[in-house]
Amino acid sequence: MLKIDNITIAYKDVPTVVDFSLDMAGGQIVSLVGESGSGKTTVIRAVLGLLAGGGKVTRGDILFNGKSLLKNTQEQWRNLRGSEISMIFQDSGAMMNPTRKIGAVFTEYLQTHEKISKKDAWAKGEEMLEKMRLPSPDNIMRSYPFQLSGGMRQRVGIAMGMTYQPKLLLADEPTSALDVTTQAQIVRQMMELRDDYGTGIIVVTHNLGVAAYMSDYIVVMKDGHIEDQGDRDHILHHSENDYTRRLLSAVPSMGGESYV
């Protein structure tokens, strides 16, 4: 489904991520782990064509269902984002305008993606919140982001991102702003997305515990390159890479349980 073929990504001509490759099948869950500044966010932003600060893929290619994303026009990006590929962030609530209610944001999101009346968009928004098992969808639609807990805001973000059942969901530190119990709920919910909709997921996390729990495949990044990679079991139990082992020794538990 997604093939990242030996890319180099540079900010203002300074190569920051080098020789990064990933071949990901539909419905697979892949984690990118590594400490701050290792280039994880840069990689997933490149996949969505949203590199900030003059970032550019200067070598290699990114193929989505066999088609190069690097050649996309703005119009092709607009059609792809939110429908075929979605992204959720560390704190979806913080991405939302604090002065606007969830319902206004959600209906506007739907109306930028399809021709739909406000009333139908509202109903569709509620339906998605309900599908993500958020309690009292009507109430949530009428709330400001700050009136919801961090976990609920994150589930609203997931509900929006999943509206069009994307084949690929990019999640940038989706649980980092949450307490451990809520972290575990969000992680389980993302795993259900794969089971229910066949969505492939790339999770960026510095938390190897989260990666260990939910991924099929783990890529360990360090200083802009792939330091280690492999199936979950390989990384957790058989890797001989010193850096991976160091990360593993520092794994916190999730919700009181250790998943490694």
What is the binding site for ligand ATP (CB under 6 A)?
11, 16, 34, 36-42, 52-53, 206
| Residue 37 Cβ vs ligand ATP, minimum distance, rounded to whole Å | 4
- For ligand ATP, which is the closer residue by CB, 6 or 149? 6
**Which of these, 77, 87, 73, lies nearest to 43 by C-alpha position?**
87
- For ligand ATP, which is the closer residue by CB, 10 or 159? 10
Q: Where do the DSSP E strands lie in 173-212?
A: 200-205
- For ligand ATP, which is the closer residue by CB, 89 or 122? 89
| Residue 33 Cβ vs ligand ATP, minimum distance, rounded to whole Å | 9
The tokens for 155 are 């589930």
- For ligand ATP, which is the closer residue by CB, 52 or 250? 52
| Residue 67 Cβ vs ligand ATP, minimum distance, rounded to whole Å | 25
- For ligand ATP, which is the closer residue by CB, 159 or 248? 248
CA 22, CA 180: separation in Å to the nearest integer? Answer: 29
| Residue 16 Cβ vs ligand ATP, minimum distance, rounded to whole Å | 4
Please give the order of strands across the beta sheet that includes 85-88: 85-88, 168-172, 200-205, 29-33, 217-222, 225-231
| Residue 221 Cβ vs ligand ATP, minimum distance, rounded to whole Å | 6
- For ligand ATP, which is the closer residue by CB, 56 or 131? 56
CA 76, CA 80: separation in Å to the nearest integer? Answer: 6
Are the beta carbons of 200 and 169 closer than 8 angstroms? Answer: yes
| Residue 36 Cβ vs ligand ATP, minimum distance, rounded to whole Å | 3
Residues 6+ apart with CB under 8 A from 30: 22, 24, 200, 201, 202, 203, 215, 216, 217, 218, 219
- Amino acid identity of residue 41, one-letter, is T
| Residue 75 Cβ vs ligand ATP, minimum distance, rounded to whole Å | 24
- By Cβ distance, which residue is nearest to ligand ATP? 53
CA 175, CA 32: separation in Å to the nearest integer? Answer: 14
Burial class (CB in 10 A: 0-12, 13-18, 19+), 6: exposed
- For ligand ATP, which is the closer residue by CB, 105 or 178? 178
Are the beta carbons of 150 and 182 closer than 8 angstroms? Answer: yes
